[in-house]
Structure 1
Amino acid sequence: MGKTEKAVVDVLLDRYGRTFAREAGIRLADRPKPLYQLLVLATLLSARISAEVAVAGARELFEAGYGTPKAMREASWQDRVDALDRGHYVRYDERTSTMLGKGAELLLDRWKGDLRRLREEAGGDDRRIAALLTEFPGIGPTGADIFLREVQAVWPQVAPHLDQRVLEGAGKLGLPRQARPLAELAHSGDELARLSAALVRASRSRKTVDEVISAAR
């Protein structure tokens, strides 16, 4: 890692290296509950809505007690809508409530509520995991990428997972736009997930890019 790249990465991690899972109050670990919560967050982030609103919606769902697939399935459709509305996730609240209910049912029926079973079915291959994730209502290729870029902090077998949004942010900051060289700038799976989140933020904001470059000089 060159001095310039190191300076950029250091600034990125310091100022923007907070995963979206952590912002949503998820203590990510390789256990059923936090993995499910990450799936819920990825579902909300998949809509054309700001990340801040999606995170707020997820927090409200979890604070209402719907942080497991069983609790999500047993909650009424209106209860889920109300929680989303409290997080100002109002544009897609009704459709998302339906999708979350069906997604929880699918996870319970097919994988016993445990996304680690999905990972095992896919043989730990990130492309096969992504394909299985898209079977959940509301999770398309973008949602699968969101899940994988965050879960690589605790699923080393899928790392490095650096999608086009991450690589776009890297290019704007003068960092490698290829997955392997970019991944080498991180020292762990957790740091790679944090770097990915920071680069997603950079990809969406010219102001963030200018700030990071200026601070790294």
Structure 2
Amino acid sequence: MGLEDVLRGLKGFPERLGLDLGDPGDRFKWFIASLLFAKRISYRIAEETFRRFVEEGLTTPSRIVEAGWGRLVEVLDSGGYVRYDFSTASNLLEAARKLLDEYGGDVDRIHELASDGRDLERRLMEFKGFGPTAVNIFLRELRDVWRKADPTPSRLAVEAAERLRLRDVKRFESKLVLLNLEYCKRKRCDVCPVRSHCTEPSRAG
């Protein structure tokens, strides 16, 4: 099987979370998830914490604001997001309020009002907790949904693409990041699904 076929068969982060980014409601959920993934914390903890938010029904800006800071901390802790629970609860609360106040609670309005890709990234970085890493995570999955979404590929994706001699980094960015985190960084080359295509399977990581 060719490399691109293997990559297409892998689940990206939104798929792992059961999200369909063609659904406006799921785009806000991905907004939440992106903020969680952006911290220096295990992506598995971020995934588990996001699932706790879904279980608690905290998947709209208004529900997050209604929950309040203390409840958000509890949900973050229940998912194992303990290291950044206080700051992340504050960021989520402020981001939800800003989205309600300035964009009517509609995450798609950020894209609609942006003049171009750079302005889109600038608008996102005005949200508390959304630095360059969160913006990249959020927008890379929306390239096929939002016309102006076209962030510079992340270092993790570029590293994996170089090992695989893959030119089309943007198209497979999410899969490349996941491969780097799950296999390269953890030196699990022996079970990597793209091992046969890697130029340095024993040295990656």
Counterparts of 1:209 and 1:13, CA distance in 2:
19
Per-residue CA deviations over 1:116-157 (Å, capped at 9, x if unaligned) read 11111113x322211111111111001000001112242244
The answer (yes or no) to whether the contact 1:148–1:161 under 8 Å persists in 2 is no
Contact 2:49 2:76 (8 Å CA) reproduced? yes
The alignment partner of 1:47 has SS state of coil
Q: Distance in 1 between matches of 2:189 and 2:169?
A: 17
Q: Could you list the per-position Cα deviations for residues 75-132 of structure 1 after superposition, in whole angstroms to 9, with x for gaps in the alignment?
A: 0212111111121111111111111111000000000011211111113x32221111
Q: 1:148 aligns with which of 121, 127, 139?
A: 139
Task: Give yes or no for the alignment of 1:169 onto 2:181.
Answer: no
**Equivalent position to 1:67, from 56, 59, 62:** 59
Aligned to 1:128: 119
Candidates 181, 195, 199, aligned match of 1:214: 195
Higher relative CO (Cα under 8 Å, sequence separation at least 6) belongs to 1
Letter of the aligned partner of 1:148 in structure 2? L
Following superposition, the deviation at residue 213 of structure 1 comes to 4.1
Unaligned runs of 5+ in 1: 1-5, 184-191
Is residue 88 from structure 1 mapped to residue 96 from structure 2 by the alignment? no
Indicate yes or no: 2:26 matched with 1:21: no
1:199 aligns with 2:180: no
Tell me how many residue pairs correspond in the alignment: 194
Query: Which amino acid is the alignment partner of residue 176 of structure 2?
Result: L
Match of 2:141, SS state, is helix
CA RMSD, aligned part only? Answer: 2.2
- TM-score, with structure 2 as normaliser: 0.84
Change (3 A) 1:88 1:160: closer
- Mapped to 1, the partners of 2:135 and 2:189 lie a distance apart of 25
For the residues of structure 1 that align with 2:34 and 2:22, how far apart are their CA atoms?
16
Once residues 146 and 216 of structure 1 are traced to their aligned partners in structure 2, the CA distance between those partners, rounded to angstroms, is 25
| Equivalent position amino acid for 2:138 in 1 | F
TM-aligned CA distance change 1:212 to 1:19, over 3 Å: closer
Aligned counterpart, 1:42: 34
Structure 2 Cα separation of the partners of residues 142 and 118 of structure 1: 18
- Secondary structure in 2 matching 1:75: helix
Distance across 2 between alignment mates of 1:160 and 1:140:
13
Distance of aligned partners of 1:79 and 1:72 in 2 relative to their CA distance in 1, 3 Å threshold: same
Distance 2:135 2:117 in 1: 10
Is 2:35–2:130's contact at 8 Å kept on the other side of the alignment? yes
Bigger share in helix: 1
State the percentage of identical aligned residues: 34
